Structure 1
Amino acid sequence: MVKCTLTNPPSHRHCDALVMEKAVASFSLFLTRLPVIWAVIFSFSVAVNATTDPNDVQGLQVLYTSLNNPWQLTGWRSSGGDPCGELWKGVICQGSSVVSLQISGLGLSGTMGYLLNNLVSLTTFDLSGNNIHDSIPYQLPPNLTSLNLARNNISGNLPYSLSSMTSLDYLNVSRNFLSQGVGDMFANHSALANFRVQNNKLTGSLNVLVGLPLIDLNVANNNFSGWIPQELSSLTDFVYDGNAFANGPAPPPPPYTPPPPGRSSNNRTPQSGHTPESNVSVSNAQNGHKKNALPTGSILGLVIGSLFAMMLLLLALVFCLRKGSKKEITARTSVGSLPGSDKVNAEMQEHRAKPTATVSDLKPTAMGSMAVERLQGKNGSVKRVQSPITATSFTVAILQTATNSFSQENLIGEGSLGRVYRAEFPNGKIMAIKKIDSAALSLQEEDNFLEAISNMSRLRHPNIVGLVGYCAEHGQRLLVHDFIGNGSLHDTLHYADERSKMLTWNARVRVALGTARALEYLHEVCLPSVVHRNLKSANILLDDEFNPHLSDCGLASLTPNTERQVSSDQMIGSFGYSAPEFALSGIYTVKSDVYSFGVVMLELLTGRKPLDVFSSRVRSEQSLVRWATPQLHDIDALAKMVDPILNGMYPAKSLSRFADIIALCVQPEPEFRPPMSEVVQALVRLMQRAVIVKRQPSEDSGFAFRNPDHEAGDLL
């Protein structure tokens, strides 16, 4: 073949033929390899542009299963999948991150799950117009700017995690069944312009919303009370009818009150340092009503006179402070010369050095009003306690009237700290009053009473009994709680009546789940962790729908005086829930709470008391944990342990998984017990897949087990 080169050039026609021949061969080879090339390009494109962040995938999967795997969410899966690449319905992504989730008006039911906080890039979340029930999860997407949960069946209260979601601009939870107060959770918000909570059962005052940059506010048809703040009245879009607001204008604020920290001042409120008169003058000037200006000489005279008056006041203040300091030094010298004064001074120094908060603060710190209280101790000492308290202070006279002087007919319970009374207030509100026995607290614990109140008042969770108020006067110590009207889990389980029959298997799992969520909040959301220390079925109260509400949260700092006499039933009942490490060393941690929770689950499963020494049971069956633990993995023995009131109405798979969770919680070694977040996840999966199957008697074991695996699936 002749090459087409410069040194040996053939004819042009021959070179053109050679070039064409090579081009055709190359193109043919390209066509044969085209499918492979396209496959590589497509796979590379998917890998670069469509792979979703694994945390986002997991958060959406849990949401999907919590919504009962709805067919309306096309493309969604309970496992695997690529939300961004596969275009899951309502999911909008930027790169590999889910930034918007809009699934409103689809008729979705179920709950929102427990892993929404995985969606850290999510800014818009719209789940409105569905049939979502239960409460709002307290672990929400942390960086939301728009949250719309309107027109559902959501109950409980607003989660305190909203306090850290400071980017929120739009919040709509209207037309649900939310209750309790708004609290101080919006104290640090500087962007919230649209806030709609109409048609709920929210209570309290609107003062907590003053200072927010609100444009659109709708609080209609709730149970708000007090006065409408003037700052809110001036909003262009403000709807407030259907509440119990007081008539007449709101009381004026104290003069020269600065605006709350961290809040914007675009609510048409007077700026700090402006007197009411100056604001009126500005307003009149803007309306064309000008006033005569003062001469320059008069202004100069006023300024000089004001400066002179301020100097006199400063001199007087310095004189008073120096005089007071001399008196304090004299008093200390006098005390130091008394017999035993060294011991008194040492005790005072020790008290100053001791940390005061056994119960934790929450994160972020609540912006409560600083309350200064004077408490008179048993020894006549007076202590000043300064701490933020969001609960209401009641007088003894008011609480006496509400309880008919703490009459016997209003007594509804008794614990290690004192008795609990039903209270009815003039407005018809029913509360529960815990009257702490004066002999129950040591002197040191009595002095820390208000500090404990401050911490307890900031615990907010739909499965925790809320602290409404307190009383600390005339030597009395009382706590005012929400009234939960269906009694305790202990009474429902162990005093057979109609309520016991209503506690179905699914209701028992729901009680376990709600209690686990309350403990998860105390252990893993509060910072530092809050240890309950007294978890038992008597402290789990049930409402009319058998939802659990954990009581006595935060009372660990008010440990009862060991010298106080308590009934043998109370001592034995509490001992049955105690973890082994507490019985041996007195050490109590969050893992000890997990053990106590496992005992409560055993009560729910068997209907037996944790320690039943007064019954006719044989000695080997009197300790519930010791008797039940060896049988938790034996399916035949497990079936015979189930509370007979259930009459065989439970799914075998659900029962087995329930027992597995119990076995993990009541392990003797605390380090092997799971954290409550894992317990919550296991119970959520169990609750979602529970299927009731009627057990039929058989000749062999008393029960013929039908395994509903095709219905229930793997529960753990």
Structure 2
Amino acid sequence: MIEYVHNMRGRVASYQLPQLIRPIHLSIHPFCQAYALFFHFQLIFQLFDISPSNSHVYKLLSTHLFHEPSNLTFFLFNYSSIFTTNNPSLPKLIVFIQQSQSQTHTLPTKPFKMNRAEHIAYDMVMITLSVSLVVLGIILFLACKKKPVESEETLPVKLCARAYPLTEVDAATDGFNHRRIIGQGRLGTVYAGTLEKEEFVAVKRIHPVLVLSNAGFGFSSVLKWLSLAQHPNVVPIIGFSEAPGERVILMEFVHMASLDFYLHQNQDGASLLDWNKRFRIAAGAARGLQYLHEVVAPNIVHGCVKSSNILIDVNFCARISDYGLNFLAPVEKRGLVGYVDDEYWSERRGGGATKESDVYGLGVVLLELLTGKGCEGGLLVKWALPLIRETSFSELLDPRLVIPSDTKPLVRLAKVASACVGNSRKCRPSVAQVATILNNLETEVCL
């Protein structure tokens, strides 16, 4: 391009006017073609002394020449009366243009024609592009279509436990009336309470001795953390109350009894729990414990997994209660013996409540479901393990229920229980592994 421009500047005298004003047909890039047009017209301006000093003439000519060079003759003849007096060279330019019109020609343009095959190919391409655009538009419409956003009032909000005044709790239980007692345990006494909005709650009043021994402990902080647990197989903590010498926990009221009551206290309770219901209870308890161990952040160690802490609702769904309250009675053996492993009592062997000790307690509960017998301070494990190893299931299973024809699910349940209570903490299965097996058994037996 640069060489082309220099050649033009050096050979201005040899150019004839028709060559200069003729439309340029160069097979070059449009960008280069624009520069070629520009220098062509600059040469014309120099030949006929049309300079920027003739501002009126220069601006109109340069604009018209650059944008539409083919209309130069029409432009000059229409405006010759204006420019002749201003520029003496203009008449000379008009004469040359008249002479050049006979020589000026445009390159013939051959109309583009497509054969039949090209027409078909063109139509197919256009149809494909049209269909693609329609499909893409539909996809974008569906992808960008906004779902209706629920208001903040309808969104589920996980709230921590509420602090209740002790006077309100006292009124809900009629002054902790003994007629409202629905249970007693190693941590305290449980009352049936009714709040102002006719909401039934279970009120656990901690034993005064335990309150005094944990006077400086952050009771409210721990309860707020424990109340974050929300799961179908966990009894939620909805509130608490504390005052000098008093610690009270408010939980959701479950309109049935505990597993311990069904299996060991009610004469007709065992018959209500057939094998299908027992598989469902075992799987539900394992899911609730798995939720506490692996989902809640930070994780919660129950500390005392036993049949009296597994409540059964009206649909015979197992729901774990009293989780994480072991801090109130860390050295209290009453109610724990037989439901925790030997390592629990040994400080040298990493004692205390752990996830592994919870799995041990779940194994004991599985043995109670299989045999219908109580823990009896650890005697149940010592009696049941040899029978499981010897596959003496006629002696092992609850005599109050008929042994099913297919005993494979019961055998697998017994093996899971044996793995939970027959191994050390290092070799014990996790609650996730136990829950997976029990869920599969529940599906196999109950559905």
Pick the TM interval, shorter chain.
0.5 to 0.7
From 395, 414, 436, the counterpart of 1:640: 395
From 586, 595, 602, the counterpart of 2:367: 602
SS at match of 2:336: helix
Partner of 2:376: 611
* Alpha-carbon distance in structure 2 between the residues aligned to 1:422 and 1:624: 32
Query: For the structure 1 residues 501 and 538, does the alpha-carbon distance in structure 2 shift closer, same or farther, using more than 3 Å as the test?
Result: same
Query: For the structure 1 residues 441 and 650, does the alpha-carbon distance in structure 2 shift closer, same or farther, using more than 3 Å as the test?
Result: farther
Contact 1:441 1:560 in 2 (8 A): no
Alpha-carbon distance, 1:552 to partner? 0.8
SS at match of 1:574: coil
* Alpha-carbon distance in structure 2 between the residues aligned to 1:367 and 1:511: 26
Structure 1 residues 303-355: Cα deviation after superposition (integer angstroms, max 9, x where no partner): xxxxxxxxxxxxxxxxxxxxxxxxxxxxxxxxxxxxxxxxxxxxxxxxxxxxx
Alignment of 1:153-302 (within 5 A): 193-195=148-150, 209=152
* Alpha-carbon distance in structure 2 between the residues aligned to 1:574 and 1:420: 18
SS at match of 2:186: coil
Query: For the structure 1 residues 679 and 367, does the alpha-carbon distance in structure 2 shift closer, same or farther, using more than 3 Å as the test?
Result: closer
Contact 1:402 1:425 in 2 (8 A): yes
Structure 1 residues 530-569: Cα deviation after superposition (integer angstroms, max 9, x where no partner): 211111101001111111110111213333575xxxxxxx
Alignment of 1:478-627 (within 5 A): 478-559=248-329, 562=332, 571=334, 573-585=335-347, 586-611=351-376, 623-627=379-383
Contact 2:270 2:372 in 1 (8 A): no
* Alpha-carbon distance in structure 1 between the residues aligned to 2:394 and 2:266: 21
SS at match of 1:453: helix
* Alpha-carbon distance in structure 1 between the residues aligned to 2:241 and 2:266: 36
SS at match of 1:431: strand
Structure 1 residues 136-173: Cα deviation after superposition (integer angstroms, max 9, x where no partner): xxxxxxxxx99xxxxxxxxxxxxxxxxxxxxxx86xxx
Alpha-carbon distance, 1:656 to partner? 0.7
Partner of 1:260: none
Alpha-carbon distance, 1:391 to partner? 1.6
Alignment of 1:37-436 (within 5 A): 193-195=148-150, 209=152, 390-436=160-206
Partner of 1:283: none
Query: For the structure 1 residues 416 and 482, does the alpha-carbon distance in structure 2 shift closer, same or farther, using more than 3 Å as the test?
Result: same
Residue type matched to 1:677 in 2?
Answer: A
Contact 2:201 2:252 in 1 (8 A): yes
2:385 is aligned with 1:629:
yes
Alpha-carbon distance, 1:583 to partner? 3.0
Q: Which has the higher contact order (CA 8 A, sep 6+)?
A: 2
Contact 2:385 2:422 in 1 (8 A): no
Contact 2:189 2:204 in 1 (8 A): yes
Alpha-carbon distance, 1:469 to partner? 0.9
Unpaired runs of at least 5, structure 1: 1-123, 125-144, 147-168, 171-192, 196-205, 211-216, 225-365, 369-389, 563-569, 613-621, 692-711
Query: For the structure 1 residues 395 and 633, does the alpha-carbon distance in structure 2 shift closer, same or farther, using more than 3 Å as the test?
Result: same
* Alpha-carbon distance in structure 2 between the residues aligned to 1:500 and 1:367: 37
2:418 is aligned with 1:463:
no
Structure 1 residues 603-662: Cα deviation after superposition (integer angstroms, max 9, x where no partner): 0000111116xxxxxxxxx71111111221433x11221111213247301111111111
Alpha-carbon distance, 1:455 to partner? 0.6
Structure 1 residues 87-136: Cα deviation after superposition (integer angstroms, max 9, x where no partner): xxxxxxxxxxxxxxxxxxxxxxxxxxxxxxxxxxxxx9xxxxxxxxxxxx
2:444 is aligned with 1:679:
no
Query: For the structure 1 residues 441 and 396, does the alpha-carbon distance in structure 2 shift closer, same or farther, using more than 3 Å as the test?
Result: closer
SS at match of 2:191: strand
Alpha-carbon distance, 1:403 to partner? 1.1
* Alpha-carbon distance in structure 2 between the residues aligned to 1:432 and 1:518: 19
* Alpha-carbon distance in structure 1 between the residues aligned to 2:365 and 2:398: 13
Tell me the TM-score normalised to structure 2 length.
Answer: 0.62
Query: For the structure 1 residues 410 and 660, does the alpha-carbon distance in structure 2 shift closer, same or farther, using more than 3 Å as the test?
Result: same
* Alpha-carbon distance in structure 2 between the residues aligned to 1:500 and 1:478: 32
Q: Let me know the Cα RMSD of the aligned residues.
A: 2.8
* Alpha-carbon distance in structure 2 between the residues aligned to 1:411 and 1:630: 40
* Alpha-carbon distance in structure 2 between the residues aligned to 1:628 and 1:575: 17
Residue type matched to 1:458 in 2?
Answer: L
Query: For the structure 1 residues 561 and 575, does the alpha-carbon distance in structure 2 shift closer, same or farther, using more than 3 Å as the test?
Result: closer
Query: For the structure 1 residues 444 and 404, does the alpha-carbon distance in structure 2 shift closer, same or farther, using more than 3 Å as the test?
Result: closer
Partner of 1:333: none
Query: For the structure 1 residues 686 and 499, does the alpha-carbon distance in structure 2 shift closer, same or farther, using more than 3 Å as the test?
Result: same
* Alpha-carbon distance in structure 2 between the residues aligned to 1:668 and 1:463: 26
Alignment of 1:442-453 (within 5 A): 442=212, 444=214, 446-453=216-223
Partner of 2:128: none
Residue type matched to 2:431 in 1?
Answer: M
* Bigger radius of gyration: 2
Structure 1 or 2: larger helix share?
Answer: 2
Alpha-carbon distance, 1:580 to partner? 1.8
Tell me the TM-score normalised to structure 1 length.
Answer: 0.40
Structure 1 residues 372-428: Cα deviation after superposition (integer angstroms, max 9, x where no partner): xxxxxxxxxxxxxxxxxx222212222122211111111111122211101123433
Query: For the structure 1 residues 560 and 681, does the alpha-carbon distance in structure 2 shift closer, same or farther, using more than 3 Å as the test?
Result: closer
SS at match of 1:440: helix
Alpha-carbon distance, 1:523 to partner? 1.3
2:424 is aligned with 1:669:
yes
Query: For the structure 1 residues 625 and 561, does the alpha-carbon distance in structure 2 shift closer, same or farther, using more than 3 Å as the test?
Result: closer
Query: For the structure 1 residues 686 and 495, does the alpha-carbon distance in structure 2 shift closer, same or farther, using more than 3 Å as the test?
Result: same
Contact 2:261 2:269 in 1 (8 A): no
Query: For the structure 1 residues 367 and 645, does the alpha-carbon distance in structure 2 shift closer, same or farther, using more than 3 Å as the test?
Result: closer
Structure 1 residues 564-587: Cα deviation after superposition (integer angstroms, max 9, x where no partner): xxxxxx82x420111121133333
Residue type matched to 1:609 in 2?
Answer: G
Residue type matched to 1:628 in 2?
Answer: A
